[in-house]
Structure 1
Amino acid sequence: MTDQQLVAHARAAALKAYAPYSRFFVGCAIESVDGEVVTGANMENASYRLGVCAELAALTAAQLAFGLDKVARIAVAGGDGSGPELAGNASVTPCGGCRQSILEVAQMAGRDIEILCASGDGKAVETHRIADLIPHGFGPANIVDAS
């Protein structure tokens, strides 16, 4: 699957977001090592902190579909979803909490997961590795001495 195809999945997922408060629609697409793709979208809540990020929704779908150890790449896109197509020209990166969750998956899978960070319109795409987005991160590999 090309980068553009994975980003297109994320953009399509964003249009299914529930974002009545921020009006910022985010979608995430996750590709497995076998080429399977799952998606997720953000789901806001009136109490704000009970909302769910698109990345966590997609990671949950990935766990159910093929297992987190098979996550190969992730695409995230976000912007204005009020029209028939996602709009916006600023690249979207995962929030800190989502970076932490992706780091956990990366350490479990034994690979530095690639993340495509796209604008709403899909024209701007930045490619990052989770190790670059959360340097010196703390995950399961850091607690091996806890036994």
Structure 2
Amino acid sequence: MQKELLLQYQEYNNKEELNDPKKALLDQAIFATKLAYAPYSKFRVGAAVLMEDGRMISGANIENASFPAGICAERAALSSVSSLAPNVKILSIAVSYINDNGQNESIISPCGICRQVISEYQQRQGSPISILLSNSLPSSKVIEIPSIEALLPFMFTKASLD
């Protein structure tokens, strides 16, 4: 039997259409791209997490000559959340990038490992984490995904281990 998955998301023409907290969050993710260490790929990614108490915690990708040892911006930001605000719910995470090899209008989304990590945080807190995706260009569209399930259907969860 063939079945179908439906992905629902909100698309904005630019970040000016976002409400103030989400606009500030995306600005923080764009700022975080400047903190990235990406001497090999020249692809700088920034992420920012909006906490329920209003704090924003950011992270940037950090590359390593031994490529598997690098860390993505989303996981850097979420690791900081674990240290700085372990008992505060996450409302949203924003992801942006700058490609020093030539910027374009593309929007990126979290890699598979980052999707799984976001999923774990969402499961732990018992409420959805929305995801804002854009690039650093002022004219960039913004995509808002309401929950990680949209990007990671058939998630591997704690229940999978039972």
Q: TM-score w.r.t. structure 1 length?
A: 0.88
The ranges of structure 1 where at least 4 consecutive aligned residues each deviate by more than 4 angstroms after the TM superposition are none
Tell me which structure has the larger Cα radius of gyration. Answer: 2
Which one scores higher on RCO, CA 8 angstroms, separation ≥ 6?
Answer: 2
In structure 1, runs of 5+ residues without a counterpart are: none
Instruction: Give the whole-Å Cα distance in 2 for the aligned partners of 1:90 and 1:68.
Output: 35
SS in structure 1 of the partner of residue 143 of structure 2: strand
RMSD of equivalent CA atoms: 1.9
**Aligned-residue offset at 1:69:** 5.4
Letter in 2 for 1:26: V
SS in structure 1 of the partner of residue 70 of structure 2: coil
Instruction: Give the whole-Å Cα distance in 1 for the aligned partners of 2:159 and 2:126.
Output: 10
The counterpart of 2:141, out of the listed 119, 124, 130, is 124
Instruction: Give the whole-Å Cα distance in 2 for the aligned partners of 1:7 and 1:47.
Output: 30
Distance 1:132 1:102, change over 3 A: same
Distance 1:141 1:107, change over 3 A: farther
Count residues with an aligned counterpart: 141
The counterpart of 1:23, out of the listed 36, 42, 51, is 42
Q: Aligned residue for 1:110? A: 126
| % identical aligned pairs | 38
In structure 2, runs of 5+ residues without a counterpart are: 1-19
Q: Aligned residue for 2:22? A: 3
**Aligned-residue offset at 1:55:** 0.6
Give the conservation status (yes or no) of the 8 Å contact 1:107–1:141.
Answer: no
Instruction: Give the whole-Å Cα distance in 2 for the aligned partners of 1:38 and 1:81.
Output: 24
**Aligned-residue offset at 1:140:** 2.0
Give the conservation status (yes or no) of the 8 Å contact 1:25–1:78.
Answer: yes
